[in-house]
Amino acid sequence: MNATEKTDESLTFRQLIGIVRSRWRLVLITTVLGTVAGVTSGVLMKPVYRSTVLLMPTQGGERSGLLGSMLGGLGSGGSSLISSLGFGNSNETATAEALALLQSRQFVEQFIQNHSLMPVLYPDKWDAHAGAWKAGLTRPPTPWKAFKLFTSSVLDVSQDKKTNLVTVRVDWTDRNTAATWANDLVDMVNDRVRARAIGDADRTISYLEQELKNAEAVEIRTALFNMIESQLKVKSVATVRKQYVFQVLDPAAPADSDVRLRPHPGLYTIIGFMIGWILGMTIAVLAGPRRSSDAAS
C-alpha cells in the first residue's frame, strides 16, 4: 500500500511538471507581464527622498550648570528654595524634554500651520483653484490626522544612546522640501526652548527679587543675589545662542536626484518577476486538470 501511495504521488508530481511544460508559453507570458509591471511601477511611482539633520545636545543648559554655586551660597536652609524654582534639571532630562516637544502633537500641528502644509499633505483632496477642500468631501482632513500622517510617514526622530547624538529624518517626494522641513523643525524646537528658558528666567528673577526684599540674613541675601546673577546669565545665553538645546553638527541638504529612499526599481522588478512567475505556474496547474478531464470525457 505504501508503494502504491508513493507511485501515485510520483505520478501526480510528474503530471504537474508535464502540465507546466505544456503551458510554458502561459508561464512565460505572465512572467514577462509581471516583470514589465514591476519595472513600470518602479519608474512611474513618485520617488521619496530622505534628508537628515545630525544634532548634539548642548551641555545641560547653563541653568543646571550653575546649580552647584547656588547651593554653596544658600547652604542647607535654602535648598528648598532651589527645589521650588525647578533647578537642577540634568542634560539628559533637558534633551528628553526637547525630543518629546519635537514629536508632540501641539508642536507638529503648529509647524504644519506655519508652513501651510495641509494642502501639501493632502493634495488629492485640495482644490488649488478655489483655495479650499474639494466640494463633496464629507470629512476634510483635520489637524489631528495631519499630525498622525506627518509623524508616521514624514518625520522620524531617534537618539543614539551611546553617543547621545540625535538624528532628525524627513522623508518627502521633493528633495529640496525635505531638507527645508528638516532644518526648519530643528530651528523651531531650538527657538521654542529658548523662548521658554527666557520666560522662566524672567519669572524666576521676579520671584527672587521679591524674596530679596523680605530676606534679612546676610547669607540668604548673598545667595539670592548669586541666583539672580545666575538667572541673568541664563537669560543672556538663551537670548544670544540660537542653537540653544540642539547644536547642529550636520544640517540637512537635498539628496541627489538618483538617491531615492523608495521606490527601488530593481526591487520592484524582482517582485514583479516573482509574482508573474507564481501566477503563471498557478494558472497552468489549475487549468491542467480541467483539460485532462475534458479530454477523458
Phi, psi (rounded to 5 degrees) for 250: -145, 100
| Whole-Å CA distances, 175 to 93, 179, 186, 259 | 33, 6, 17, 10
Max mean pLDDT range (3-12, 72-81, 114-123, 238-247): 114-123
Angle, alpha carbons 129-134-137 (nearest 5°)? 175
3 exposure class (CB count in 10 Å sphere: 0-12, 13-18, 19+): exposed
CA–CA separation, 171 vs 45, rounded Å?
Answer: 15
Residues whose CB is less than 8 angstroms from the CB of residue 22 and which lie 6 or more positions away in sequence, other chains included: 288
pLDDT of residue 27: 79
| Residue 266 pLDDT grade (very low, low, confident, very high; cuts 50, 70, 90) | confident
CA–CA separation, 93 vs 91, rounded Å?
Answer: 5
pLDDT tens per residue, range 172-203: 999 999 999 999 999 999 999 999 989 999 99
Question: Parallel, antiparallel, or unpaired for β 49-57 and 126-127?
Answer: unpaired
188: enclosing H helix or E strand: helix 175-214
pLDDT of residue 279: 85
User: Is 239:10 a contact under the CB 8 Å cutoff?
Assistant: no
pLDDT tens per residue, range 99-140: 999 999 999 999 999 999 999 999 999 998 988 999 888 889
Print burial letters for 231-267: b (CB count within 10 Å at least 16), e (below 16).
beebbebbeeeeebbbbbeeebeebeeeebbebebee
pLDDT of residue 272: 79
pLDDT of residue 193: 92
Residues whose CB is less than 8 angstroms from the CB of residue 201 and which lie 6 or more positions away in sequence, other chains included: 63, 231, 232, 234, 235, 238
Helix/strand number for the chain, H first, E second: 12, 6
User: Is 61:233 a contact under the CB 8 Å cutoff?
Assistant: no
DSSP state of 78: G
pLDDT of residue 148: 97
pLDDT of residue 172: 96
Nearest to 159 by CA among 214, 208, 247, 99: 99
178: enclosing H helix or E strand: helix 175-214
| Residue 2 pLDDT grade (very low, low, confident, very high; cuts 50, 70, 90) | low
| Residue 68 pLDDT grade (very low, low, confident, very high; cuts 50, 70, 90) | very low
